[in-house]
Amino acid sequence: MANTPPATPVLEFPCRFPIKIMGHKHPEFAPTMVAVTRVHAPDFEEVDLVVRESSAGTYLAVTVTVQAQSQAQLDDLYRALTGHPMVKMVF
């Protein structure tokens, strides 16, 4: 039986980490995603927010860049975003 060394973490914390959130175009989509983000990353500032409309104007892509403190924090944020009814995809 071989001794396997522990896996090296992919990210070193703290670090800046971008998250792209896709949803239908709605006037409250970006503010709602900011509010969800701030629950898990209270220091998030809107200067780290980028909003883009799809070419057809049907969807919005919201990118939030957070100062991640741990993998658990990112996992919690991803779960909150993917579980939100306004969100279609998170990556």
The answer to the question of residue 10 being in a domain is no
Would you say residue 68 lies in a domain?
yes
Residue 40 lies in a domain: yes
Q: 2 lies in a domain?
A: no
pLDDT at 3 over 90: no
- d(CA 58, CA 55) in angstroms, rounded, equals 8
Task: Residue 39: give its domain's CATH number.
Answer: 3.30.70.260
Angstrom distance (rounded) from CA 72 to CA 40: 10
Q: Cβ distance 32 to 61 under 8 Å?
A: no
Q: What is the pLDDT of residues 14-71, one digit of tens each?
A: 999 999 999 999 999 999 999 999 999 999 999 999 999 999 999 999 999 999 999 9
DSSP 57: S
Q: How many domains does the chain have?
A: 1
Task: In whole angstroms, give the CA distance from residue 29 to residue 48.
Answer: 16
On whether residue 7 sits in a domain, the answer given is no
Query: Is 69 a domain residue?
Result: yes
Q: Look up the pTM and report it.
A: 0.89
Determine the structural domain holding residue 26 and report its residue range. Answer: 15-90
What's the rounded mean pLDDT across residues 5-14?
Answer: 81
